[in-house]
Structure 1
């Protein structure tokens, strides 16, 4: 099962201060909108999301169908197939994706230590 591109989604108090900090670490804005409270930042080896006022906890995020530059990957494992496989494996699904649909969808699982993991398919 291919989970897709990985990023760490960070909850920030002030997105501009966080942006400046991560830019000093070598990250550059890749996507997002400060006015909406979110930015995707890239370094040569990783991707992080900065989110102000959107989520309660930091979380891992997987984007099925994308590589780390938001380029399409084909073939890929659809988010609904990932959800079904995890459910069959006994993992509780939070905010499940509609399994009858196609295209963009998302769902979340919580690891044994309470860490949220978002599976967020954009295509």
Structure 2
């Protein structure tokens, strides 16, 4: 018999829900990365997908290993905090580097293209 049979059904449903939510959010971030047209639009979807998707998966993992073990598993909170802090900062640095490159090459800033006057 598997050690997973020791998990109560209510906790197993919570774990499955958090893991499913995390994987769906991560998948949506990956789809957004592939489908969105410009580089600047592509920055947003993977950031949310990675941050909140990883959070859902880590919460599900914490619930499972805390239920199976004799102690509370909290070291994954540290991993989650690192992911939640570093992913948005990395994407912000990438966005600023791309904006700097566009300005150096003489391209108009994002959001000012199109007919008529630039957006304000």
Scaled by the length of structure 2, the TM-score of the pair is 0.25
Q: Which has the higher helix share?
A: 2
TM-score by length of 1: 0.25
